[in-house]
C-alpha cells in the first residue's frame, strides 16, 4: 500500500493570526514615542464639547473660562483600559502633591467599547479608582476628535492661558521617567506668570 504525503495548506486561523500579528506590529511602529511632545504653535484647547449636567461627574459642566489661571492636566481614559487604571495611583499622587497649587486634573472618559458608555458604570469605576476630579463623559468622541487624540491614556498639559503646551502617551507610574517629566513640565507651567 502506497502512502501519500499531503501538503497542508494554511488554514483560515493561521491567516487570521498572521494578519493580527502584522496589524499589531504596524500599530507598534506607528505609535508615538512615549514621552513629552511639545505642541507646535501652542493652540488654545478646544472648548469642552459636553455641556449637559449628565455629561460630567464630580462637577457641573466646565468651560475653559472656569479654569483660567490654572494649569490643567487633561487625562483621556476609558474604564476598560488597563494602562489607564494602572496609571491612576500616580495621577492621584500627583494631585495630592500639587493640591495647594493652581493645578487641576480634568478627566475625559472616551469609550472604546459600547459597554463603556454607561454613565452609571463610569461613575462606579471612577469611585472605585478614587477619582474625585471633574470627569467629562465623551461618549460621542467629540472632544477626542477636537483634540486630535488617538490613544489611551493620553495626557495634555494646558497652561494658565488655556493653551495646549505638551502631551504624553502611555501608562505612567510614580517615579518612572514619564512621571518625572510630566511633573517637571507642570511645575514649569506653574512658575509662569498668570497673565
Torsion of CA 43, 62, 94, 152, to 10 degrees: -70
What is the pLDDT at residue 170?
97
**pTM score, whole prediction:** 0.81
Burial (0-12, 13-18, 19+ Cβ within 10 Å), 143: buried
Least Cα distance to 160 among 126, 118, 194, 135 occurs for 194
Could you tell me the domains of the chain?
Answer: 57-191 (3.40.30.10)
**Count of residues in the chain:** 195
pLDDT by position in tens, the chain (length 195): 544 444 434 444 544 444 444 444 344 333 444 444 556 667 999 999 999 999 999 999 999 999 999 999 999 999 999 999 999 999 999 999 999 999 999 999 999 999 999 999 999 999 999 999 999 999 999 999 999 999 999 999 999 999 999 999 999 999 999 999 999 999 999 999 987
Element (H, E) at 166: strand 164-169
What is the pLDDT at residue 32?
45
Amino acid at each position: 500500500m502506497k502512502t501519500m504525503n499531503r501538503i497542508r495548506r494554511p488554514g483560515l486561523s493561521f491567516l487570521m493570526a498572521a494578519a493580527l500579528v502584522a496589524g499589531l506590529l504596524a500599530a507598534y511602529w506607528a505609535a508615538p514615542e512615549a514621552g513629552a511632545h511639545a505642541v507646535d504653535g501652542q493652540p488654545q484647547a478646544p472648548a469642552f464639547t459636553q455641556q449637559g449636567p449628565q455629561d460630567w461627574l464630580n462637577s457641573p459642566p466646565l468651560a475653559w473660562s472656569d479654569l483660567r489661571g490654572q494649569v490643567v492636566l487633561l487625562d483621556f481614559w476609558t474604564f476598560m483600559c488597563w494602562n489607564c487604571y494602572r496609571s491612576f495611583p500616580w495621577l492621584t499622587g500627583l494631585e495630592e502633591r500639587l493640591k495647594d497649587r493652581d493645578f487641576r486634573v480634568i478627566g475625559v472618559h472616551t469609550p472604546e467599547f459600547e459597554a463603556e458608555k454607561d454613565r452609571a458604570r463610569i461613575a462606579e469605576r471612577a469611585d472605585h479608582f478614587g477619582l474625585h476630579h471633574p470627569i467629562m463623559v465623551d461618549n460621542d468622541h467629540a472632544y477626542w476628535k477636537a483634540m486630535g487624540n488617538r490613544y489611551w491614556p493620553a495626557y495634555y498639559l494646558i497652561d494658565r492661558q488655556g493653551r495646549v503646551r505638551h502631551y504624553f502617551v502611555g501608562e505612567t507610574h510614580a517615579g518612572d521617567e514619564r512621571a518625572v517629566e510630566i511633573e517637571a513640565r507642570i511645575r514649569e507651567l506653574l512658575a509662569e506668570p498668570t497673565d
